[in-house]
Amino acid sequence: MYTEKLTSVKHPFEPVVDKDSRILILGSFPSVKSRENMFYYGHPQNRFWRMLADIVKADVPQTIEDKKNLILSNGFALWDTLAMCEIHASADSSIRHEVPNDIPGLVKQYGIEAIMFNGNAAYRYFEKYYGKDDGLEGIIKKALPSTSPANAACSYERLVGEWGSAVNELKEKILKEKRY
């Protein structure tokens, strides 16, 4: 049992998605720094934005608007698995009394074809709430290493390699099925 003081927190921002989004990238829940900055992956040591920019061969985005443009201009959507939870600081391992986001609703509304999970916690919570009967038959799902600074054991090169391979594989599958 987690012994630190937990704070009840509601997810503070909306998903980044539009009609051209085909691959949904799901995290678990925003870190303290992300909540302070009011946008996804706001911790300066989180490797998400640099990694994604390297994969799609773009400049590393600096502003929230640049980050949204990077996501949307490459056919991605961005959200988190959880809408609300009790959490200590930014520790996924401390999460309790979680409430999931309506991921099946978003997927159906926008025609999402694949989901990439940023880390085991995002995948684990998705499976807990939607794994048995998620209504998402035919949606490709891929769990990937977390870009969090807490996952320091995973090198930047490994992140780019695994995420880059997954992006290329998913886009190829979607194109092959004429869904991208």
Residues labelled as active-site residues: 46
6: nearest Cα among 80, 84, 92, 96: 96
* Strand, coil or helix: 19: coil
Contact 112, 102 (CB under 8 A): no
Q: What angle do CA 19, 126, 62 make, to 5 degrees?
A: 55
Spell out the long-range contacts of 54-59 with Cβ–Cβ below 8 A and sequence spacing 24 or more. 54/160, 54/164, 55/160, 55/163, 55/164, 55/167, 56/167
- The tally of CA atoms less than 13 A away on the side-chain side of residue 129 is 17
